[in-house]
Chain A
Amino acid sequence: MPSLKDLKNRIGSVKSTRKITKAMQMVAAAKLKRAQEAATASRPYAERMASVLANLSASAGAGGPKLLTGTGSEDTHLIVVLTAERGLAGGFNTYVVKLAKQKIGELRAEGKTVKILTVGKKGREQLSREYGDLFVGHADLSGVKGGDFSESAISLGKKLTKDFEVGEFDVATLIYSQFKNVLSQVPTAQQMIPASMPAEAEDAKVGNALYIYEPSEEGILETLLPRYINTQILSAMLESAAGEQASRMTAMDNATNNAGEMIDSLSLQYNRARQAQITKELIEIISGAEAL
């Protein structure tokens, strides 16, 4: 049976924990709003770009640039794992890493060479134990301020395009957490290189034959594809950031509730112990008086 003082200390410490989790929840909620806006705002651009590219690639056919058609083999896979820089966000990072591990396992079972590039500290930490020898690079997001990922996305995109051109890998897949809504973030694997077209690409074919291209179809494709990759990375980063905050908000809400429950049960225990002590003292006094 813990003493009254012990109980009091524990209640105090749980109370301050509750304050911290409550504060974290509120911060996450505020950040979520901004991150969600940024993610939603970037969607039209990504969608338009996908439809423009779908138009182009439908007419480009097999003779297109390598970024679109691939190198012809798919022996070396690059897995880009996009996670958060911080933990304390429920299962957010773990789910992404889990999907990545599953994907890596599948590819290795097929006898492919797998390389891993991590974005965000948490994914790197969780993967390093098992696949540390496969790491080929890491992109740090900790310097990003105010949710402006465009610079990081562009430099990562450029790196990928360059590595692809010198033959470092044949296929690049991005694994990130897609932001569905505040309550659900879905870990998603998306093939970036060679560029995979969205499913509705077929509908966009209208009037291809009449298109006028300036300077030329190939010229446009060549400038468009690297940008498309950058855009994909950017929107993945924004979605991931929004998901991270949403996930943290939920996790911290749960933690706050749990702390509240714990305080209730500890207070109950404390009151009982105090009552028991008072009763004991009374009995002692009464029996002392009776003995006289």
Chain B
Amino acid sequence: MADKLHFSLVSPAKEVFSGEVDHVIAPGSEGEFGVLVNHAPFMTTLKNGIVRVLENGATKMRIFVRGGFADVTSEGLTILAEEARLLEDVTAASVQEEIDATLLKIQSLDKDDSARITLQEHFDYLESLKAALVH
């Protein structure tokens, strides 16, 4: 349909979402932005936060992303996220469990281990995910 926006959200692990929607609101590094159909070509980096997919004015889906890029072209919106999870799939308890496991892993590594930085990023992501769930 011509009046729908093609939106796809992919993470390295899988294609999280792909389909036609009305409106997407994403957390850009310079502030939140909304994308409707026929948006001008636009590219930005993202910060940790919630990508909201709106259909008929109501929120249809909320996806929590960590870092990445949004690319708006004439074909639609593509979000490349480092990590992405559907908010409805996670619970505060399961996130807390992961936070604890990650923290243990971080502590077991040397200070200058490059894997530590990666884990730290993952940890920050989980922390902000937890914060988002509480709301």
Instruction: Provide the bound-state CA to CA distance between A75 and B10, in Å.
Output: 37
Contact for B12 among A207, A212, A214, A231, CB less than 8 A: A231
Instruction: Provide the bound-state CA to CA distance between A52 and B28, in Å.
Output: 17
Are A214 and B80 CB-contacts (below 8 A) given A52-B69, A155-B115, A219-B45? no
Are A48 and B80 CB-contacts (below 8 A) given A155-B115, A214-B28? yes
Query: Mask for A112-127, Cβ within 8 A of B = 1, else 0?
Result: 0000000000000000
Is A223 touching B13 in the complex (CB atoms < 8 A)? Answer: no
* CB-CB contacts below 8 Å: B1-33 with A: 8, 10-15, 28-30
Is B117 touching A45 in the complex (CB atoms < 8 A)? Answer: no
Is A159 touching B12 in the complex (CB atoms < 8 A)? Answer: no
Instruction: Provide the bound-state CA to CA distance between A158 and B113, in Å.
Output: 11
5 contacts between A and B (CB under 8 A): A38-B13, A150-B13, A158-B117, A207-B74, A213-B44
Instruction: Provide the bound-state CA to CA distance between A137 and B39, in Å.
Output: 47
We find that the number of chain B residues with CB closer than 8 angstroms to chain A is 29
| In the complex, chain A residues whose CB is within 8 Å of the CB of B115 | 151, 154-155
Contact for B114 among A155, A211, A213, A215, CB less than 8 A: A155
| In the complex, chain A residues whose CB is within 8 Å of the CB of B28 | 214
> Knowing that A44-B10, A45-B12, A220-B44 are A-B contacts, what are 8 other residue pairs whose CB atoms are under 8 Å apart, sorted by A's residue number?
A48-B10, A52-B69, A55-B73, A155-B113, A210-B40, A212-B43, A213-B43, A227-B82
Is B41 touching A210 in the complex (CB atoms < 8 A)? Answer: yes
Is A220 touching B41 in the complex (CB atoms < 8 A)? Answer: no
Is B42 touching A212 in the complex (CB atoms < 8 A)? Answer: yes
Closest-CB distance, A165 to chain B (whole angstroms): 14
| In the complex, chain B residues whose CB is within 8 Å of the CB of A49 | 80
Within 8 Å of chain B (Cβ to Cβ): is A32? no
Instruction: Provide the bound-state CA to CA distance between A211 and B39, in Å.
Output: 11
Within 8 Å of chain A (Cβ to Cβ): is B118? yes
Within 8 Å of chain A (Cβ to Cβ): is B95? no
Is B73 touching A159 in the complex (CB atoms < 8 A)? Answer: no
Is B69 touching A45 in the complex (CB atoms < 8 A)? Answer: no
* CB-CB contacts below 8 Å: B65-81 with A: 69, 71, 73-74, 78, 80
Query: Mask for A121-147, Cβ within 8 A of B = 1, else 0?
Result: 000000000000000000000000000
Is A214 touching B29 in the complex (CB atoms < 8 A)? Answer: yes
